[in-house]
Amino acid sequence: MVNPLHKMQKIIRIKIERKKIESRGGYVMKGTRDTKKKKRVQGVVDRITAGIVVVVIRHPDDPEAMKEIYVPREKFKNRDLQEGDYVSVDIE
């Protein structure tokens, strides 16, 4: 079970950091990486074009449908990817 006090402390820390950045003249975008939830899913490399790897995964809402994810090649540890290789990617 998630401790509500821990969750509140995290929210307060984020608000303090945003105020510090804004006070220095910076701009904080809403929905930064900290607030987005990522999910790791498995897919298959469909094709590789110009440094972009096209990964086909099952659609999160409709399990019978497929979805293409475009990922830069630099994001993968294994740089020598081939078509048909199984990879895992983070989706939001």
Tens digit of each residue's pLDDT (9 = 90 or more) over 8-51 = 666 677 766 666 666 665 555 555 555 567 788 899 999 998 88
Question: Do 85 and 49 share a structural domain?
Answer: yes
Question: Do 79 and 48 share a structural domain?
Answer: yes
Question: Do 55 and 14 share a structural domain?
Answer: no
Tens digit of each residue's pLDDT (9 = 90 or more) over 66-81 = 989 898 888 888 778 8
Listed in order, strand segments (DSSP E) in 1-92 are 39-49, 52-58, 66-72, 86-91
* Rounded-to-integer distance, Cα 33 and Cα 47, Å: 28
Question: Do 4 and 20 share a structural domain?
Answer: yes
Mean pLDDT of all residues in the chain? 77
* Rounded-to-integer distance, Cα 16 and Cα 60, Å: 35
Q: Is the pTM of this model over 0.85?
A: no
Judged by DSSP in three states, 23 sits in helix
Question: Do 32 and 43 share a structural domain?
Answer: no
* Rounded-to-integer distance, Cα 21 and Cα 32, Å: 13
Q: Is the pLDDT of residue 3 over 70?
A: no
Task: Provide the number of structural domains found in the chain.
Answer: 2
Question: Do 51 and 86 share a structural domain?
Answer: yes
- pLDDT of 86 reads 92
